[in-house]
Amino acid sequence: MRFRAGLVIGFAAGYYLGTAAGRERHEQIKSTIRKVKRSDAYDTVTDKAHAVVDLGVERAKDLVDSKTGGSNGNGASTTVPKTDPPTRP
């Protein structure tokens, strides 16, 4: 499934870049992309994607900590403080 999604995204990116020669179609696509990025659905999907990535990072940190003992040798923890993702205007 991930391969298929990557393939579709790759073709879409190639088509988008390829349409730059046809200026009018390029402007239509850019306009559509702007509308999508301003939608609530886009915000929801990106928030969910950030949550999935954050969860994966936390799981990877836990796995590394469990394998290494959770410290960097001088008694300090190896975990990186979590920051809030930047907000969109």
Domain that holds residue 57: 2-66
For residue 60, being part of any structural domain is answered with yes
For residue 80, being part of any structural domain is answered with no
For residue 83, being part of any structural domain is answered with no
Residue range 23-68, pLDDT digits in tens? 887 788 899 999 999 999 999 999 999 999 999 999 999 999 998 8
* Torsion angle, alpha carbons of 33, 35, 40, 41, to 10: -40
Which residue matches tokens 């920051």?
83
Max CA distance (Å), the chain: 61
Is the separation of the CB atoms in 26 and 19 below 8 Å?
A: yes
SS3 assignment, position 27: helix
Residue range 68-81, pLDDT digits in tens? 876 555 555 555 56
Q: Specify the number of domains making up the chain.
A: 1
